[in-house]
Amino acid sequence: MNREEKAWVIEELAEKLRDNSAVLVDYQGINVAQSTQLRARSRESGIEFVVAKNTLTQRAAAHAGVEGLEELLVGPTALAFSKDPIAGAKLMAGFAAENAAFELKGGLLDGGRVVDAEGVMALSRLPGREQLLAQLLGAIQSPVAGLVTVLNAPLRNLVVVLNQVAEQKNQA
């Protein structure tokens, strides 16, 4: 790889590190079929799986202003870039659970915060974006629904009382 190609790779990686979350993994020990399966799952989930030299990744991290990534860049390292940190963590943690040779090293969250493998596992246990939005919507709607029920209760009770009075008059 000549200098121009290296500079281009560094710039591309730096841009991805600035704009995305990343999960760093040790992919050594997985076979071609497993690698193909991982790449297919990544594409389906909108995650970009990249294998790059550690030195180029370190230079890209420095170029992007990311600190603390150097300690994770030991041995064979691949990066899974995604806009949603939870989606990337879920996919990589799930694949690591299925394949003993595949190991999580750590991750990079939006804003340049580096987390270890345990941090990535904690992210993978969180609900997905859609589920979190549904929970938020439910939490917002719950008080409103309760207020509507409370406001309707006197009117409903009045209707019940009037019906009972009408039935008593019909029986009498």
Q: Is pLDDT at 136 greater than 90 in this prediction? A: no
Note whether 167 and 112 are same-domain residues.
no
Q: Indicate whether 128 pLDDT > 80.
A: no
> Is residue 140 domain-shared with residue 81, that is, in the same domain?
no
Domain that holds residue 160: 127-172
Instruction: Indicate whether 70 and 148 sit together in one domain.
Output: no
- pLDDT for the residue 123: 87
Do 40 and 112 share a domain, yes or no?
yes
CB 41 within 8 A of CB 104: no
Span of 6-15, 37-46, 88-97, 157-166 with lowest mean pLDDT: 157-166
Q: Are residues 171 and 134 in the same domain?
A: yes
Number of domains the chain is built from: 2
Q: What is the CATH number of the domain that holds 81?
A: 3.30.70.1730
Average pLDDT over residues 129-145: 84
pLDDT in tens, 60-112: 998 888 888 888 888 889 999 998 888 899 999 999 999 888 899 999 987 67
Whether 167 and 114 map to the same domain: the answer is no
* Domain match, 85 and 60 both: yes
Check whether residue 103 and residue 18 sit in a common domain. yes
79 phi, psi to nearest 5 deg: -120, 135
Burial pattern 136-149, b for ≥16 Cβ within 10 A else e, equals eeeeeeeeeeeeee
Same domain membership, residue 151 and residue 121: no
Let me know whether 103 and 118 are in one domain.
yes
* Same structural domain, 51 and 111: yes
Task: State whether 18 and 63 are in the same domain.
Answer: yes
